[in-house]
Chains A and B, each alone.
Chain A
Amino acid sequence: MASAAEIARRDEQSKTRTRWLLSLPALFIVFIAAIGPLFVMLAYSFMAKGDYGDVKPGEFSLDGWFSVLFQRDIFDDTVTLADAHLSILWRSVRLSVITTLATLALGFPTAYFIATRPRSTREVWVFLITIPFWTNLLIRTFAMQQVIRNEGVLNTLLMWLGIINEPIPIMYTDWAILFGMVYVYLPLMVLPLYASMEKLDFRLVEAGYDLYAGRLAVLRRIILPLVKPGIVAGSILVFVPSLGAYVIPRVLGGGKNLMLANLIELQFGAGRNWPLGAALSISLMLLVMVAMLVYVRNATRSGGGHG
């Protein structure tokens, strides 16, 4: 005869089996929609490039991966580092890190402000923060262009105020990309920050003041550790799309200030080098994954409370 424990165990097993069966359709969609294309990219990156774009299926080649970092001189076959690729990579990482820090610096006080309003007005503020999502990214980027171009709002205003005599050229520089990315991705930082600050028990802040912590100490020792999940989430939400930004550097950075996504697009378009494009795409993905791993590992380690 089966003991009660035995029956309970069998019941548990059959439940687990049912759950797997039920999630099969979802797993199938995930595979087709997300993992499948990735495998296609992975395969392309190991094929020889076709003469007019495309790839030569069945013809194995490491040229795509080789070209990510190196270039071969067409006359004497010497191998050198691909400076253009490295500078684009460096620009992408640098601008993404700065964007993340800038949105954090701007988003933190904003989220704190909203979280400390009375409950009824908080909703209004959150609503205002989400308004930019209503418009297309391209339109928002063009809006930014209207602000920062030579005859744009910013320069006109500064000249009218007499602070500058000549317009400051911002368009088609890294600054333009930075302004654009901070503007576009700021809500992605504010919302998760607000979500964790709203849960913050402000009586703990009072307890901190009561125990002789000044404003800075309360921020550092109580508020920051408690809203850390929001900081981590917001940073990921901003850093990942920044690294892969395409529209913003295309519109605001012009043809010279490329970022990784623009370089990839180039390979599938005018460059006619699909294997390189595929290899670059996978490199970008690996870069994001490594960055996330390092970041999350560090964030959780120092979050142990022994700060």
Chain B
Amino acid sequence: MPEPSPVPDARIAVDCHGIVKQFGEGPRALRALDNVSVAIRENEFFTLLGPSGCGKTTLLRMIAGFEYPTEGTIRLHGEDIAGLPPFKRPINTVFQSYALFPHLTVWENVAFGLQMLGWAKGKIEARVAEMLKLVHMEELAQRRTDQISGGQAQRVALARALAPAPKVLLLDEPLSALDYKLRKEMQIELKRMQSETGITFIFVTHDQEEALTMSDRIAVMSKGRVLQVGTPWDIYDKPAERFVADFIGETNFLSAAMVGIEEGVARVRLPSGIEISASLAEGYRPAGEATVVVRPEHARMVTTGGQLSGVVENIVYFGTDTHIHVKLDQGSTFMVRQQNSRSKSCGASVGDRVGIDIAPDAAQVLRD
């Protein structure tokens, strides 16, 4: 299956190949990263998504040069950067804690990298002014960094990292300390800055919604491994593994039997005995049994017919939509998400017998 992507033959900015990172020795050794390979394209907004402790920060720190891989190579624009210390890599980081220098003002923080690069005074002043304008912090240039709010500190950290115009910007959960509304605002700001500067962003988050809304492509990680790389659309609609499907959004898992595969499309028999077509996950290994996933919004509740049937167990109202939990005749629970409309209710009440109609192309067979 050809992978749809916004920039099909873009050049690779950062190429991590077979990265293994082991902390400690012997029986207490911990494999933080286990054979990770990702290729991040130029000018891309690339996100590492995964639960806490899956190795996102570790991978980022190796790209920045603070840690060295136990195995594997990291290339920047085709060049192996293993021998380069962090201060010689044209890569900047927005740290999770911001790590602003407390003894310097906002202005001095943003100018720091430029001074270290030996820029001329006038050039530094112009650049810092430009950066402070980009993050809307011109007025607070002379403030000390302990006199600004969390959101402002975040902007300064961003301006400081962008000022030297790095080839790659690393962002380690930069928004996780902000409250909901500010986070939403900064998500849009970050997108704007990425497209304005054209810098490759490698963004780390454990928030799947954030990843889906911001990224060009996402790498979903779990326990030190990259499970799937793809566009938000790929990751959401065509999850390759149970973990990916479960971690991103809500989903229904059905145990089905594999009937046959024809031109990359599978026929599977659902627990109800009805056969449907389903797309195959990347790297699918043929097996007799198959796990099929269907997103709740890709199924419809019907009074008669449908590929599955059961009894309504629970109805949860969410304002924009309603979640209907149906206890299938075979025992598992299936959730349907229905848009609400003003004129009518969801059309069923608890205890009703209903059918479930799965939209064509909605089913996906997982690889594990």
Contact = CB atoms under 8 A, between A and B. Distances in A.
Partners in one complex: yes
Interface of A: 201, 203-204, 206-214, 217, 221-222, 225-226, 303, 305-306
B85 A209 contact: yes
A217 B104 contact: no
B151 interface: no
A210 B64 contact: yes
A210 B105 contact: no
A207 to B, nearest CB: 4
Given A206-B66, A305-B104, A305-B108, A212 B87 contact: yes
Contacts of A226: 102-103
Interface stretch (B31-39, B90-98, B243-251, B283-291): B90-98
20 contacts: A203-B97, A204-B102, A206-B99, A207-B99, A207-B101, A208-B101, A210-B86, A210-B91, A210-B161, A211-B87, A211-B160, A212-B87, A212-B88, A212-B164, A213-B112, A214-B87, A214-B116, A221-B112, A226-B102, A306-B108
Interface of B: 64-66, 85-88, 91-93, 95, 97, 99-105, 108, 112-113, 116-117, 144, 160-161, 164
Contacts of B87: 208-214
A203 B103 CA distance: 14
Given A222-B101, A226-B102, A305-B104, A210 B92 contact: yes
Contacts of A209: 65-66, 85-87
Nearest to B96: A203
A213 B113 CA distance: 7
Given A209-B86, A209-B87, A225-B103, A203 B113 contact: no
A211 B112 contact: yes
A229 to B, nearest CB: 11
A210 B66 CA distance: 9
A203 B86 CA distance: 13
Given A206-B86, A212-B87, A213-B116, A305 B103 contact: yes
B131 to A, nearest CB: 13
B101 A217 contact: no
A222 to B, nearest CB: 6
A207 B117 contact: no
B64 A305 contact: no
B108 A210 contact: no
B108 A211 contact: no
B136 to A, nearest CB: 22
A-B pairs, 4 with minimum CB distance: A211-B113, A207-B99, A212-B116, A209-B86
A210 B116 CA distance: 10
Contact of B116 (A206, A211, A303, A306): A211
Given A207-B100, A210-B64, A211-B161, 8 more contacts: A207-B93, A208-B87, A210-B92, A211-B92, A213-B87, A213-B112, A225-B103, A306-B108
B113 A305 contact: no
B92 A305 contact: no
A204 B99 contact: yes
Contacts of B85: 209
A203 B101 contact: no
Contacts of B97: 201, 203
Considering residues B66, B104, B108, B116, which has the most beta carbons from chain A within 10 angstroms of its beta carbon? B116
Nearest to B105: A305
Contacts of B99: 201, 203-204, 206-207
A61 to B, nearest CB: 53
A204 B101 contact: yes
Contacts of B161: 210-211
B275 to A, nearest CB: 56
A305 B95 CA distance: 22
A32 to B, nearest CB: 42
A212 B92 CA distance: 9
A210 B109 CA distance: 13
A211 B164 contact: yes
Contacts of A305: 103-105, 108, 144
A213 B164 CA distance: 12
A226 B101 CA distance: 9
A203 B95 contact: yes
Nearest to B111: A211
Contacts of B117: 212
B98 to A, nearest CB: 9
Contacts of B103: 225-226, 303, 305
A56 to B, nearest CB: 57
Nearest to B86: A209
A169 B121 CA distance: 55
A214 B89 CA distance: 12
A16 to B, nearest CB: 30
Contacts of B66: 206, 209
Contacts of B101: 204, 207-208, 222
B120 to A, nearest CB: 15
Contacts of B95: 203, 206-207
Nearest to B92: A210
A104 B104 CA distance: 25
Considering residues B85, B87, B93, B117, which has the most beta carbons from chain A within 10 angstroms of its beta carbon? B87
B365 to A, nearest CB: 44
A208 B66 CA distance: 12
Nearest to B61: A206
Contacts of B92: 210-211
A91 to B, nearest CB: 37
B159 to A, nearest CB: 12
B199 to A, nearest CB: 15
